Amino acid sequence: MDFSIAAILAQDGITSGAVYALLALALVLVFSVTRIIFIPQGEFVAFGALTLAAIQNGKAPHTATLLVVLGVLCWIKESVVAIRSRSQNSPASHTVKRLLQSGFILVVLPAVMWGTTHQFNLQDWPLFGQVLLALALVIPMGPMIYRLAYQPLAEASTLVLLIVSVGVHFALTGLGLVMFGAEGSRTTAFSDAHFEIGALMISGQSVVVIAVSALLIVALYFYFERSLSGKALRATAVNRLGAQLVGIGTTQAGRLALTLAATIGALCGVLIAPMTTVYYDGGFLIGLKGFVGAIVGGLVSYPLAAAGAILVGLLESYSSFWASAYKEVIVFTLIIPVLLWRSLTTTAHDEEDEA
């Protein structure tokens, strides 16, 4: 292997690692705030990519229909809970007002999105508008799924939440097959430019992926450091009970965490769609590589998770050159020494005793 080949492989590894780093950060965020190992993270990657591909092919994306269905189910659930929990001293007008507000957010806005996808020729929209529409269709599914699947079990054990995540993953994978079919899709590249640095040729799409990933990581840093909601998420991650005692709503924190995870997942799908063919079930493998990076960080440390994800990208790139048939095995084998090292260096504790 000469230097030019090594540089090309490093470029591919860093590009892939930037995407895995975002997914690793999302997984760490969701787990630290809600104790959910968010296996469906990869489905948001696939939904984001395939929704954009459907828009660019002039088709109405079925994710708009799924968004309406999820919204209606959430509103029905919210209505039942509001009616059952209404106290006798509370006027009915307050309950009606709250249901109308939630109905507008959960039902009316998704219906408007559905109408937009069916009434306008989305293929003629500029690329930026198509991307925004794809994100607007996929991102709200995050908090909706939290309302339906996770919120009723928010205080359950990590094992129960993991089982729920597996169920949600299979449900979304099945829905992905129904909505998008078994054929894969690619989208239009954000940039067709190429830059030459010596013997190395860098594509504009790789620059876009790395730049957007870096900007999003910086934005997340300032969000958690400077904003009130970001500090509330950090407080919930440190101590859920303590956060509740000082007035932080852990339910709202969970919804916000899933919203951020869905945003990161859908954006990653949009970024990688021009570079690789995305299938309805392809997001799981991508998300799993982000999970390996998150494990390197112990599902706690954001910097270590990002560094581990970059390592996964580089390892995948170089192993595809030396042993392409075993690259997945090599990548996922990385998790074994990490888990072994953490099991030897971390003091064991019982979750039930903490509770």
pLDDT tens for 176-186 read 999 998 888 88
User: Which tokens is 293 given?
Assistant: 């990076």
pLDDT tens for each residue of 40-61? 999 999 999 999 999 999 888 9
CATH match of 3-58+121-354 with 1.10.3470: yes
Residue 200, Cβ density class (10 Å: 0-12 exposed, 13-18 middle, ≥19 buried): middle
pLDDT-derived band at 250 (thresholds 50, 70, 90) equals confident
For the segment 110-131, the average pLDDT, to the nearest whole number, is: 90
Residue 353: pLDDT band (50, 70, 90) is very low
The pLDDT of residue 88: 52
pLDDT tens string 287-336: 888 888 888 877 777 888 888 888 888 888 888 888 777 777 888 887 88
Total number of residues shown for the chain: 355
Q: What percent of the chain has pLDDT over 90?
A: 34
pLDDT digits (tens, 9 = 90+) for 192-224: 877 777 667 778 888 888 898 889 988 888 888
Which pLDDT belongs to residue 133?
Answer: 94
**Segment 100-121 mean pLDDT:** 90
Token representation of residue 87: 């106290």
Among 82-86, 273-277, 345-349, top mean pLDDT goes to: 273-277
Instruction: Express each pLDDT in 264-283 by its tens digit.
Output: 999 999 999 988 889 998 88
* Per-residue pLDDT, 140: 94
Closest CA to 187 of 278, 66, 93: 278
Report pLDDT for 261: 93
Rounded to an integer, the average pLDDT of 112-141 is: 91
User: So what's the pLDDT on residue 352?
Assistant: 42
The Cα 110–Cα 294 span in angstroms is 32
Least confident of 53-62, 239-248, 251-260, 340-349: 340-349
202 beta partners: 195
Structure tokens at 301: 């440390």
C-alpha torsion angle, residues 166, 170, 175, 176 (rounded to 10): 100
pLDDT of 351 over the 60 cut: no
- How much is the pLDDT for 346? 67
The better pLDDT of the pair 345, 227 is held by: 227
Q: Which residue has the higher pLDDT, 232 or 4?
A: 232
Q: What is the largest CA-CA distance in the chain?
A: 78
User: Residue 196: enclosing H or E segment and its boundaries?
Assistant: strand 194-197
Q: What is the pTM of this model?
A: 0.89
Dump pLDDT digits (tens) for 68-83.
999 999 999 988 888 7
Instruction: Report pLDDT for 13.
Output: 86
The per-residue pLDDT of the chain, averaged, comes to 86
- What six digits make up the tokens of 17? 């690692």
CA distance 95 to 256: 23
Average pLDDT of span 334-342 = 80
What pLDDT score was predicted for residue 355? 43
Alpha helices in the chain (DSSP H): 3-34, 41-56, 63-85, 92-103, 109-119, 127-138, 141-145, 158-180, 204-226, 228-238, 240-245, 250-272, 282-296, 302-322, 327-333, 335-345, 351-354
